[in-house]
Copies of this chain bind each other. A is one copy, B any other.
Amino acid sequence: MGVQERRKRERSERREQILEAAERVFLERGLSGATMDEVASRAELSKGTLYLYFKSKDELYLATANRQLAEMVSRFEAALEAGGTGIEMLERLVRVQLEYAIENPDHARFSTTWLNTTYRLDADSPSFDEYRTSIAKLFLCGNEAIELGKRDGTVRVPGEPFELLVQLWGSMVGVTLLWVNAAEVVRRLPWDLDMDHLMHSYCDLILSAIRGETKQ
């Protein structure tokens, strides 16, 4: 039946068309500033149609975030494949994370909102599964670099490797959050700040804290 196949193809094309409109709107307006009405009119569809393809606004955002995460995963994997010592790999991963945040500030902001318990994503949706799977891949990359660094002596691991990884990640998230909300942060602080420089030099600082004795 060619009809069934055509329908299936058209359905996934429409989904893609919505995703592209949504991505542009989220990028321009941010997560909370974007409205489903605007996404709908940008996709030349009615709002109701969006809900035939995505269960909610969150789901729609997760779907766009998943496209971006896939990109992140491939960058992480490439950073590992480039080889070198453990600390070199780890440094490359940290830089990738930082550069990714700079390129996609809105996704960087969103990727931390799940830490706020008042913001609960539906854990039973396929999009959320996909999101979580990608996150797990990222952590496995980080763990591989740390384990290697522990073996080759370029990374000092005080306790469990995974604990160190989560500490790196958590602290990077905090600093990235500051950067992402730089305009507002600077408005509330008593001094002026170069947040770009701050974020980059934080990477140096935290990496220096874990660099092993056998460096170079």
Contacts and interface: CB of A to CB of B under 8 A. Distances in A.
Interface of A: 29-33, 109, 112-121, 123, 131-132, 135-136, 139-140, 158-159, 162-164, 166-167, 170-178, 180-181, 184-185, 187-191, 193-194, 197-198, 201-202, 204-206, 208-210
Contact of A205 (B114, B120, B204, B209): B209
A201 B109 contact: no
A119 B32 contact: yes
A187 B115 contact: no
A17 to B, nearest CB: 25
Given A174-B172, A198-B163, A190 B135 contact: yes
13 contacts: A109-B118, A115-B181, A139-B190, A139-B191, A163-B193, A163-B194, A163-B197, A164-B205, A167-B198, A170-B178, A173-B174, A174-B176, A209-B209
- Could you say how many copies of this chain the assembly holds? 2
